[in-house]
Structure 1
Amino acid sequence: MKNHRIDNNPNFKESSNSPLIDDLDKDIINALVIDARISYAELGKKFKVSPATIHVRVEKMKKSGIITGHKLTVEPKKLGFGVCCFIGITLKSAGDYPEVLERLEEIDEVVEAYYTTGAYSVFTKIYCHSIEELHWLLVDKIQSIEKIRATDTIISLQNPIHRAISL
């Protein structure tokens, strides 16, 4: 039995920018999240609709920006990236965000960055080969960005929950 957080939450109010999708759209998304290579024919058979219906629904969701692409995922540790960490970044001024983001985009080891509220202005996810490489990255690349006031590094020990959103 599916546990729909939103459906079960009496405090949830759909925002004005929430897309209107029905149960078939949700089922298609959930199936594609599990296997993005599944054919429209297989999806049609699974959901008892024609492959053309699946195609039209997927194209509609692409056009509306719900589906933004298909991507390959890799296991960083298998490629030698043994250190995953998160770096909370405090900026000298909120106005420094665009320039700092531009500089962070130039650093290959930064795989995700978020503009946040709270203690940090920016929160990044980093993959490195070693602690020594992380040290070099912090000192020579990140902390040397003039508009950064301070950083706080959190090293991930494991990633026991890794999933896409559930619809």
Structure 2
Amino acid sequence: MADNYQIDNLDRDILNELMKNARIPYAELAKNFSVSPGTIHVRVEKMKQAGIILGTQVEISPKQLGYDVCCFIGIILKSAKDYPSALTKLENLEEVVEAYYTTGHYSIFIKVMTRSIDGLQQVLINKIQTIDEIQSTETLISLQNPIMRTIRP
């Protein structure tokens, strides 16, 4: 499928409903939008092939699983050439749940989840700060996450 696939109003409506409930049957979507289930199926498949729909996932609550500390760590690398190897090492740390290659003061900005402040300290001292490619870090602890949403089609 071409990279320039343009979504229309039906595609947008389908995406909005799937974002609310990815398990909604195609037949129910078809009924809601006055089209055939086959049309829904074809549209969803086209959006998958175009890379608009990447998959479905279960949303979990980190707090309910005991992960009470969320923080963001800005990382300054010793050299720009260190990015690939530093990223590989960070990817191997289960506490690192997101990573971004950034412009500005930091080379990499990561999101880390731990069960406690003590756990965060251990991750910083024994894992992140032992990565040779890292020159320095700055840690920002999140107090709450009042806005969390995805892009709307």
Scaled by the length of structure 2, the TM-score of the pair is 0.95
Q: Distance between the aligned counterparts of 2:34 and 2:108, measured in 1?
A: 45
User: Match of 1:144, as an amino acid?
Assistant: T
Residues 1:47 and 2:33 are matched in the alignment: yes
Aligned partner of 2:54 among 68, 75, 82? 68
User: Aligned to 1:107, which of 86, 93, 101?
Assistant: 93
The CA distance in 2 between the partners of 1:121 and 1:62, in whole Å, is 32
In the other structure, the counterpart of 1:160 is 146
- Which of 71, 83, 91 pairs up with 2:69? 83
Question: What are the Cα deviations for residues 21-49 of structure 1, in whole angstroms up to 9, with x where unaligned?
Answer: 11111111111111111110111111111
Aligned residue for 1:98? Answer: 84
Q: Tell me what 1:20 maps to.
A: 6
**Partner in structure 2 of residue 13 of structure 1:** none
Measured in 1, the distance between the counterparts of 2:110 and 2:138 equals 10
Identity of aligned residues (%): 59
SS in 2 for 1:143: helix
CA contact (8 A) 1:33 1:164 kept: no
Farther off after superposition, 22-31 or 101-110:
22-31
CA-atom RMSD, angstroms?
1.0
**Distance in 2 between the 1:65 and 1:84 partners?**
30
Tell me how far 1:19 sits from its aligned partner: 3.8
Q: Distance between the aligned counterparts of 1:53 and 1:121, measured in 2?
A: 45
- The list of structure 1 runs, each at least 4 consecutive aligned residues, that deviate by more than 2 angstroms after superposition, is none
Q: 1:59 aligns with which of 45, 53, 66?
A: 45
What do residues 42-100 of structure 1 show as CA deviations (whole Å, max 9, x unaligned)?
11111111111010000011111111100011000000000011111111111111100
Give the match's secondary structure for 2:47. Answer: helix
Q: How many correspondences in the alignment?
A: 151
Match of 1:125 among 97, 108, 111: 111
Output the CA distance in 2 between the equivalents of 1:18 and 1:103.
35
Task: Please list every run of 5 or more consecutive structure 2 residues that lacks an aligned counterpart in the other structure.
Answer: none
Q: Distance in 2 between matches of 1:90 and 1:27?
A: 42
Aligned equivalents of 2:136 and 2:54: distance in 1? 34
The AA in structure 2 aligned to 1:145 is I
Report the CA distance shift for 1:129/1:35 in structure 2 as closer, same or farther (over 3 A). same
